[in-house]
Amino acid sequence: MTSIAVVGVSHLTAPVEVRERFAFTDKEAISVLSGLQDRSGIKEAVLISTCNRTELYLCPGSDPDILETGEAVLSEKAGDLIGGAGQYLYRLQGLESVRHLYRVVSGLDSLILGEAEIQGQVKSAYELAGSIPVTPSLAGPVLHRLFQTSFSVGGQIRSSTPIGEGAGSVASVAVKLARKIFGDLNGLQIMILGSGTMAELVVEAMKRDHVAGLIVANRKHERAQKLAERLAGKTIPIDEMLLSLDQTDILVASTGAPHALITLDDFRHAMGGYRKKPILILDLAIPRDVEADIGDEDNVFLYNVDDVREIVDGNLIKRQASVVDAETIVQDHAETFAKWHDTRNVVPLIKSLRSRWGDLRKSELDWLWQQLSHLSEEDREIVDSFSKRLLNKLMHEPTTRLKDGIVNGLGSEFISAVRYLHALDDVDLDLDHEGNMSDSIGEFKEPWNNLSKMGPDLAEESEEHESNE
């Protein structure tokens, strides 16, 4: 399978000062995604942009022009980089792209192994793509299936392995850093810039350490107010946060601002020239909210998203031991997805085959009723049920072998044989030059939609469905 591809940059390929050049706000993501279907035949697309990665998932993904378009989108966002943006980008296709998303959602590819925030971030990105009013939907049948199964995989791995236990999420790392610097957190004043998921997680972690002093600076007052209430704090407009910075002990910045909110000059002015007591600044934003030079000031402990690598988690060994089991789950589900993907477009052929045989069954029953007019209604129902059961049993083995043949690369031969033997030349299925099912669903979109919820064994389950007619 090659109809899915991903082009991206992550903490594994680029430092934070480069990754922030690739970061998209929701508004920017909507703008880019809205125009993708007009470029190089892209039908489906989802753009993920978090602190640690920016990834563009594309379908179809087998055309080199489409991959080049994906790389161009990210490169245009990054702008001029010494050596070019391409040196930081990776591209994956087919099964590897499926495995990659499953690993990302499960926390296997995260900066902190097993962290849970990423699953919610990926879900938000998927929902954003699906909300864009374009036809067909960017979160179409293939990427819809891919992302929905990724959430199931992430949930299974976290529930069946210890990979997320004490995973040292960004929020818990914030608390550990604060303890190292201040010891007891009682009485400390905390300021949160932004009120998104990351900020909420930090507040919950601080709450467990009985921190009571909280200021939330955010442009959206209602959401900021709800966050502040958790620690009996208060909210202020974001443009007034510098006035409270001098009294702040811990600053957690996680906005989606496209530029730094606190410059070195801003900081020095707010501190009256220099900082007199320690301040922990945890800049979790991409692009960064706090200028890096502030970290060189006296009594300033500034950490960005890359710095959390240096925080050693006591449960790391236990979590690393669960990686093998987690990778097995990823591989099993990726292979299941591949089987579904490779057989999905054969459904119209199977439905046509069943329809042809079903019409013949009904025609022969009409003849039988004329010959056996004395049969009661109850007897007729028994005969009718028997004919359906017989048809299902006759269809089961051929349809199973048809699907297996397509998965094994024999799609062209098998489909040609079925069409010839059963006079189904009117069923127009597209195959590529290798005999594989194409990415196009075309006129069979409606049958696909009817069967998309049935799981990987589409034909087999559709037989059971029709047996209940």
Q: Which amino acids are annotated catalytic?
A: 51
Q: Are 53 and 9 in contact (CB under 8 A)?
A: yes
- CA-CA distances (angstroms) from residue 154 to 158, 179, 415? 6, 31, 36
DSSP alpha helix (H) spans, 133-263: 141-160, 170-182, 197-208, 221-229
Side-chain-side CA neighbours of residue 117 (13 Å): 22
* Residue labelled with tokens 């914030």: 174
What are residue 204's phi and psi, to 5 degrees?
A: -60, -40
- Distance, CA of 54 to CA of 16 (rounded, Å): 12
The DSSP line for 192-208 is EE--SHHHHHHHHHHHH
Distance CA 278, CA 383 (A): 86
Let me know: does 170 contact 194? Beta carbons within 8 Å: no
DSSP 415-456: HHHHHHHTT-TT----B-TTSPBPS--GGGHHHHHHHGGG-S
Q: Is 271 helix (H, G, I), strand (E, B) or coil?
A: coil
Angstrom distance (rounded) from CA 188 to CA 211: 7
Pick from 69, 80, 73, 67: which is nearest to 18 by CA?
80
End-to-end, the C-alpha distance of the chain in Å comes to 34
Angstrom distance (rounded) from CA 138 to CA 125: 12
